[in-house]
Chains A and B, each alone.
Chain A
Amino acid sequence: MASITVKVQEERGHVIHAQSQLDAQETGEEDEVSVSQEEYERERHRGKRRSGDGERKKRRKRASRAGEREEESHARPERREKSRRRRRRARDDEGDGDGEGEADERNAKGKKKQGSAKKGEKEQDAEKLAVEEKPQELKKKKQKKKVVETSSEQETSEVEDNQKEDNDETEVRPESLSPEELETLEEAVDERKKLIQGLRGKPWTMKKKLLTLRESQEFVDKYEGALGKGKGRKLYAYKVMMGKKWMKFQRDFENFKTACIPWEMKIKEIESHFGSSVASYFIFLRWMYGINLILFSLTFGLVMVPEALMGRPYGSIPRKTVPRAEGSSAMDFAVLWDFGGYAQYSVLFYGYYNNQRAIGWLKFRLPLSYFLVGVGTVAYSYMVVIRTMARNANESGVGDDNSFNFSWKMFTSWDYLIGNPETADNKFASITTSFKEAILEEQESQKDDNIHLTRFLRVLANFLVLCCLAGSGYLIYFVVRRSQKFALDGLDTHSWWERNEVNMVMSLLGMFCPMLFDVISALENYHPRVALQWQLGRIFALFLGNLYTFIIALMDEINLKREEEQIIKFNITIWEAHFYNGTVSENSTAPPITIQPADVPRGPCWETMVGQEFVRLIISDTMTTYITLLIGDFLRAVLVRFLNYCWCWDLEAGFPSYSEFDVSGNVLGLIFNQGMIWMGAFYAPCLPALNVLRLHVSMYLQCWAVMCCNVPQERVFKASGSNNFYMAMLLVILFLSTLPAIYTIVTIPPSFDCGPFSGKNRMFDVIQETLESDFPAWIGKVFSYASNPGLVLPFILLMVLAIYYLQSTSKSYKEANVELKRKLQTQNEENKKKNKQAALKAQMDLEEARQAASHTAERQRNNNASVEDQEGWEEKQGSSHRLSHGRNGRNPHPPVRDQLPATSACLSRTHHHSKHGAPGYLPGLPRQSEPRMCRVPSLQRH
């Protein structure tokens, strides 16, 4: 910001020089002003220096104005001459008022401690009087210039008034401003706006922020209107107004948005009890809930509701009617719970939808909508996951190198969120162990005692895990096969267990195998973090294997159903022929009124079957989760708590204890659940709705369970980077779950008598159909060209090339990074050597300088910083006086020009520290290494 200000000032300087005919006049004016100030200053130097700053300012204001008027009585030209001379003299002789301030400011760049309190006293120039804040100052200049330009000289007093009255004069005449000035003004306004925007990121105290905010807002309010000229002015004002309105709206919207984020307090509470890792699960859950809500609104709004409202009603056609054979039991709870009966023949499943091209008075293209929603669900999920991943990757930075091992441990290991004694205790313990581990690693690079044993154990563990995985895979395959046999026999002949075998087995496997893995991983003796990753990987593999076994079995079943369908199709033609009593050519004038839709024979409709399977899977999965929660956590907690009064050992501390919240397991469960949703959503549009319900209940149930019956983890892990780890898993699952869904859509022809695509060869034919009938011919042509392999293949090739290119560039960047890092390190080594000597020397110098500095400075630092110390000020003034002499001697300025740099420096000082916090220097903290520095607190801070 400082540089910008300086630039503005320089520009202003140019402006002055450019306006040749006004130049002399203006110089005179300015000199006049300054001279009067100097006179006054001399007077004042004698007098009351001890008074408060604000008071002083006021007095000064009054006095200077008086002096001005006094002077005005002199003849003008003469006065101008005199003033110029005097000005020069003052500069040479005194070198105190102006030059000192200037030099001081040069020194002070970046040092906030040299506050404006001092400045107010030292810079006696009229220009600088009210210069505490840059905006005012800029503004004043503007005003003065304007006045000088537009009116004649006798307005000097008004100029003075303008300056003094702190911008009470709002009347700004844009016509009178030259384009350059306008530009400057605009820049200043923009700058202020930027300042307001970035204010919250400034390391200032709130008081200062509030002050700055108010001032800059006033400034912007006042001078925004002056921008824009003539015709454009109204437009500009309008724009400004709209901008303000827009800002307000945005803020309100932001408030509204944060108010809409659910469960904020719940999660916060959990966070303070269990640390950020447990909370990260709940945040993930909430995020998932949001996504599912959107998926749900898509399917609900574009598929289910239109069909329910505008499609043919229930019972009008065979696919919308429960068959006669099932009619009697269609309302039984057991059947409904299994999603058979009326549930099967409803909007919940694929089979219910009619293949009518357009339904209702809206002419809603339902089959097309169904297809596009299916595709859109997947596309949206991909987009969201990848975008979140990219954002997380940006946020987490590139901190994967190990060069700051100890420092990171020291400065970032405490989790400031923790607010629970037990968690805090665990955290302390884990930090201590991590330090000890690091120390051990440091001391001896690798202790390889018993390496053979560990290796053997690890191999053994992996072997056992593989056995588990294979076993569970086989079990599922076996069960699914068996269930198909049962299904062929008819469901009624079998017990409840036999009917629900598949889901139960899958859920039980998902429950017990992770425990088994946990036991096995105890063999391996890995570092907990590594162990956690292995554990996650294994559970992932288990779930994935189970899911794919399930899908493969399902594929078998689909094939079976399709064979069945062929037979039924054949039978139906016979049945129809029989029904029409030999009339081969069916005439439309004799509608088959006599046949109830329920009696019409129909195919097995494999799509509905797939949807049902998934819904059942989800339901049983949900049930298992909840029951485990209730039994595993709640019941255990209750037993431990109440049996502890009458037990022979301490249950709470001893064996059963309370359970910990298993973050990784829960996250994995959530991810796989989502995978199943993605997989099955095409065939069962109700799945997202079910999932929303499930997640909603989970949120409350798990929050409650965590708070009431879990204890914080013994090893409190940081949630660092795990977010992206979860996301990566989610992405993998998304890919793997869309694969089978897309495969079935693309390769298997839809059933002939159910679903929105019945009668078509493939499901995606609906697109072609729409293109042909609803769009002009040329679009269809374009599409057919675009889908030509001759175009698609080169396109894919191009994408591959682009990926390759991007990857190689990123690789080379990485290499360059490593190279630079290495260079930096070697340089550091050198620097360290060099600096050690330099630092020693500097230390000596510093000591000397510090001793030379008066004890008052010392006192001031120790003192409460809000008390202004006059002694210290004088001391410091003396030192800066010396400095300014040196500077002025070297570099004398012409009278007009030299005011500008001074002001610019002082302007920049007020804001400088905010942005370019000079390295090694902190705002608000005194800096000891600068002996000349004075510790007078700045105005802004008090």
Chain B
Amino acid sequence: MGNKQTIFTDEQLDAYQDCTFFTRKEILRLHGRYHELAPHLVPMDYTTDPDCKVPLALIVTMPELNVKKKQSLYTENPFRNRIVESFSEDGMGNLSFNEFVDMFSVLSEMAPRELKAIYAFKIYDFNVDNYLCKEDLEKTLNRLTKEELTPEEVELVCQKAIEEADLDGDNKLSFADFENMITRAPDFLSTFHIRI
């Protein structure tokens, strides 16, 4: 533990444990991962709360978010950019360590459904307008299927999805609609998490 202790003070670790769903060890591991991403940017010593951010392009190279893209460009988590963007404060995808921890805390197994739903909504809300409109759904669908559906099919699926979940009839999904739908989904909890 000797050299690990210098990364964070005990108080910091306690605070992180209070604020996330991680244990002390996992936080240290997270820091290791974070450090790995940009060894020249991220200091090893976090006791003084340094202000540094790792850009999106580096974050998405994490194997958790990104599938090795040696073979083809498409094999990757279709939403990785969205995930990172929705957790970054500046909206550009640059993550500080705090946000980094936050991201994996929400995506951890322990996070409650409501919390996950909030961030899932953000992730699927491509044009950050607080509604899942048709364009968002189309984008989601195209990313999910690698654009293998015909435009008519995409249109139909989006229409159906909106019809199913839209409660207030404004032809787009508000967060309430989304939450109502997602909280009943049997697979949501089991699939919307990333182990780190």
A residues whose Cβ falls under 8 Å from a Cβ of B: 196, 199-203, 205-207, 209-210, 213-214, 251, 254-255, 258-259, 268, 271-272, 276, 395-401, 403-422, 424-425, 428, 431-432, 435-436, 438-439, 442, 718-721, 828, 831-836, 839, 864-866, 917, 919-929, 941
Q: Measured between C-beta atoms, what is the minimum distance from B181 to chain A in Å?
A: 5
**Shortest Cβ distance from B162 into chain A, in angstroms?**
8
Interface residues on B, range: 35 or more
Least distance between A55 CB and chain B CB atoms (Å): 20
CB distance from B86 to the nearest CB of A (A): 9
Taking a contact as CB atoms under 8 Å apart, the answer to whether A428 and B24 are in contact is: no
The answer on a CB contact under 8 Å between B130 and A928 is: yes
> Does the CB pair B111–A414 fall under 8 Å?
no
- Collect the chain B residues with CB atoms within 8 Å of residue A416's CB: 77, 79, 107, 191-194
User: Per-position contact with A for B179-196: 1 when CB-CB < 8 Å, else 0?
Assistant: 101111111111111110
Q: Is the CB of A431 within 8 A of B114?
A: no
> Of all chain A residues, which has the CB nearest B192?
A416
Known: A213-B18, A414-B144. A836 touches B169 (CB 8 A): yes
Q: What 0/1 pattern do residues 76 to 117 of B give for CB contact below 8 A with A?
A: 111100000000011100000011011001110001101100
Q: Is the CB of B105 within 8 A of A200?
A: yes
Which of chain A's residues have a CB closer than 8 A to the CB of B20?
Answer: 200, 206
Check if A839 sits within 8 Å of B160, measured CB to CB: no
**B8 neighbours in A (Cβ, 8 Å):** none
A718 touches B187 (CB 8 A): yes
Check if A925 sits within 8 Å of B186, measured CB to CB: no
Given A413-B191, A425-B75, CB of A439 within 8 Å of CB of B112: no
Residues in A whose Cβ lies below 8 Å from that of B192: 412, 416
Contact sample, A vs B, 17 pairs, CB 8 Å cutoff: A214-B15, A271-B195, A406-B164, A413-B191, A419-B77, A421-B71, A421-B72, A432-B149, A439-B153, A839-B168, A866-B90, A917-B175, A919-B174, A920-B175, A922-B130, A925-B130, A928-B130
With CB as the reference atom, state the residue of chain B lying closest to A828.
B167
Instruction: Assess A397 versus B184: contact at CB under 8 Å? Given A206-B98, A421-B68, A925-B122.
Output: yes
Q: Do B195 and A835 touch (CB < 8 A)?
A: no
* Set of chain A residues within 8 Å of B161, measured between Cβ atoms: 406-407, 410
A831 CB contacts on chain B under 8 angstroms? 167-169
User: How far apart sit A704 and B176, CA to CA, in the bound complex (Å)?
Assistant: 45
Q: Which of B64, B102, B153 is within 8 Å of A435, CB to CB?
A: B153
Q: A407-B161, A832-B169, A839-B170 are in contact. Are A203 and B119 (CB under 8 A)?
A: yes
Residues of chain A within 8 A of B125, CB atoms compared: 925
Find out whether the CB atom of B140 lies under 8 angstroms from the CB atom of A410: yes
Q: Is A407 in contact with B181, judged by CB distance below 8 angstroms?
A: yes
User: Taking A206-B98, A268-B195, A835-B170 as contacts, is the C-beta distance between A410 and B141 under 8 angstroms?
Assistant: yes
Residues of chain B in range 121-176 having any CB-CB distance to chain A below 8 Å = 121-122, 124-125, 128-130, 137, 140-141, 144-146, 148-149, 153, 156-157, 160-161, 164-171, 174-176
B58 at the interface (CB under 8 A from A): no
Which A residue's beta carbon lies closest to that of B162? A407
Please name all residues of chain B whose beta carbon is closer than 8 Å to the beta carbon of A400 when the two chains form the complex: 186
CA distance A861 to B23 in the complex (A): 37
Q: CB within 8 A of B129: which of A414, A436, A718, A928?
A: A928
Q: Is the CB of A199 within 8 A of B19?
A: yes
A418 touching B77 in the complex, CB below 8 Å, given contacts A268-B195, A271-B195, A431-B144: yes
How many pairs of residues, A versus B, come closer than 8 Å at their CB atoms?
Answer: 246
- Judge whether B140 and A417 touch: CB under 8 Å: no
Residue contact A719 to B190, C-beta cutoff 8 Å? yes
With an 8 A cutoff between CB atoms, is B25 at the interface?
Answer: yes
**Closest approach, in angstroms, between the C-beta of A217 and any C-beta of chain B?**
8
Rank and list the top 10 A-B pairs by shortest CB-CB distance, nearest first.
A832-B169, A206-B98, A919-B176, A421-B75, A920-B174, A835-B169, A399-B186, A720-B187, A209-B19, A406-B160
Residue of A nearest to B176 (CB): A919
> Interface residues, chain B, CB within 8 Å of chain A?
14-21, 23-26, 63-64, 66-72, 74-79, 89-91, 98-99, 101-102, 105-107, 111-112, 114-115, 118-122, 124-125, 128-130, 137, 140-141, 144-146, 148-149, 153, 156-157, 160-161, 164-171, 174-176, 178-179, 181-195
Residues in chain A near residue B145, CB distance under 8 A? 428, 431-432, 435
Min distance, Cβ A42 to any Cβ of chain B, angstroms? 36
B105 touches A407 (CB 8 A): no
Cα(A518)–Cα(B157), bound, Å: 33
Instruction: Judge whether A411 and B98 touch: CB under 8 Å.
Output: no
Establish whether residues A920 and B176, one from each chain, have CB atoms under 8 Å apart when the complex forms: yes
A200, A721, A833: which has the most chain B beta carbons within 10 Å? A200
- Per the bound structure, the CA–CA distance linking A261 and B70 in Å amounts to 34
CB distance from A34 to the nearest CB of B (A): 36
Closest B residue, CB atoms, query A864: B90
Chain A residues with CB under 8 Å of B169's CB are 828, 831-836, 839
Task: Given the known inter-chain contacts A259-B25, A925-B130, please indicate yes or no for A436 contacting B165, CB distance below 8 A.
Answer: no
Contacts of A407 in B (CB 8 A): 161, 164-165, 181, 185
Contacting pair A272 B19 (CB below 8 A): no
Decide yes or no: A210 and B98 within 8 Å by CB, A411-B181, A720-B186 being known contacts: yes
Say yes or no: A421 contacts B67, CB within 8 Å. yes
Chain A residue nearest in CB terms to B183: A397
In the bound complex, CA of A865 to CA of B25 (Å): 33
Residues of A within 8 A of B89 (CB): 205, 207, 865-866, 941
Q: Is the CB of B112 within 8 A of A424?
A: no
Complex: how many Å from CA A923 to CA B117? Answer: 12
Of the residues B79, B111, B122, B184, contact of A401 by C-beta under 8 Å: B184
User: Inside 8 A of A201's CB, which chain B residues have their CB?
Assistant: 111-112, 114-115
Q: How far is the CB of B170 from chain A (nearest CB, A)?
A: 5
Once the chains bind, are B129 and A432 in contact (CB under 8 Å)?
no
Q: How far is the CB of A167 from chain B (nearest CB, A)?
A: 19
Q: Is the CB of B186 within 8 A of A205?
A: no
Contact B160 A412 (CB under 8 A): no
Task: Tell me the minimal C-beta distance from A405 to chain B in angstroms.
Answer: 7
Q: Are A410 and B157 in contact (CB under 8 A)?
A: yes
A408 contacts which of B76, B120, B181 (Cβ < 8 Å)?
B181
Contact A210 B19 (CB under 8 A): yes
User: Is A251 within 8 A of B17, CB to CB?
Assistant: yes
A438 CA / B164 CA spacing, docked (Å): 14
Are B63 and A442 in touch, CB under 8 angstroms? Answer: no
Q: Which residue of A lies closest to B29 (CB)?
A: A265
